[in-house]
Amino acid sequence: MLINIVFYFSLTSFNFEPNYSFEKQKKMAFELPKLPYEYDALEPHIDARTMEIHHSKHHNGYTTKLNGAIAGTELEGKTIEEILKGATSQSGAVRNNGGGFYNHCLFWEIMSPNGGGNPNGELAALIDESFGSFDAFKDAFSNAAATQFGSGWAWLCYNNGKLEVCGTANQDNPLMDGIGCNGIPILGIDVWEHAYYLNYQNRRPDYINAFFNVINWDKVSENLNNAK
Ligand SMILES: [Fe+2]
């Protein structure tokens, strides 16, 4: 009788909880996000073909390679922010593809077909406080983007109550330790040639000017609130 009872409870616990530990062990892979607008939505400022290749080839490639680089390692299952923090001491595959994944996720979100104009509210006030004026910020950001040698990004970051502009090479990101560019990025521009060459060729400053016509300041304000 006792044996039967033990057997019964063993069986029921097996039947009711067989997948529990399996579910806990399952790691979620990073996924390429859908764009919040169509590929042609940012024209004429950013052309549809560039957007399609940029998203479906480049960003997709970073995402796939990031998943491959962390599979079976202690990084699997961590958030992208956790991975980026220590990425400078990881392999090039983790650093480059982790940055590439995060940077482009942010990039698509801070652009909109209804973008452009000026920021408002708290973001506008903090830009004025940090740079003196919106035009002074625009000059600093555009200069960082134009003078980033080779491939990279220019950023607007929230850092200890202030906003700062900085640039990073390749797919590096301000969230990475020891990158020389601190704070939490709330706005970024991709200045890799793949972001503009089809339409602008070598005229990176024209692309930077055009980018200001599609900045989604509402999203940048949201990023600021989340960064604080
Ligand atoms: Fe890119």
Q: What is the pLDDT of residues 43-75, one digit of tens each?
A: 999 999 999 999 999 999 999 999 999 999 999
From ligand 1's centre to the CA of 126, what distance in Å?
28
For residue 91, report the distance from its CA to the centre of ligand 1, in Å.
20
Ligand 1 center to residue 136 CA distance, Å?
26
> Ligand 1 centroid vs 192 CA: distance in angstroms?
6
Q: How far is the CA of 85 from the centre of ligand 1 (A)?
A: 20
- Please give the distance, rounded to the nearest whole angstrom, from the Cα atom of residue 15 to the centre of ligand 1: 49
Ligand 1 geometric centre to CA of 58 (Å): 7
Gap between the Cα atoms of 56 and 128, Å rounded = 37
Ligand 1 centroid to Cα of residue 190, in Å, is 6
Per the confidence metrics, is the pTM higher than 0.85? yes
Residue 3 exposed, middle or buried by CB count within 10 Å (0-12, 13-18, 19+): exposed
Extended strands (E) in the chain = 152-159, 162-169, 184-190
Q: For residues 131 and 185, what is the distance between their CA atoms, to the nearest angstrom?
A: 16
* Percent of the chain residues past pLDDT 90, beyond the cut: 86
The Å distance, Cα 30 to ligand 1 centre, comes to 17
The amino acid present at 52, given as its one-letter code, is E
pLDDT digits (tens, 9 = 90+) for 188-210: 999 999 999 999 999 999 999 99
| Mean residue pLDDT across the chain | 91
pLDDT bucket at 1, cuts 50 / 70 / 90:
very low
Radius of gyration of the chain (CA): 22
- Distance from the alpha carbon of residue 59 to the mean position of ligand 1, in angstroms: 7
109-145 CB burial, b ≥16 within 10 A, e <16: bbbbbebbeebeeebeebbeebbeeeeebbebbbebb
Confidence category of residue 160, pLDDT binned at 50, 70, 90 = very high
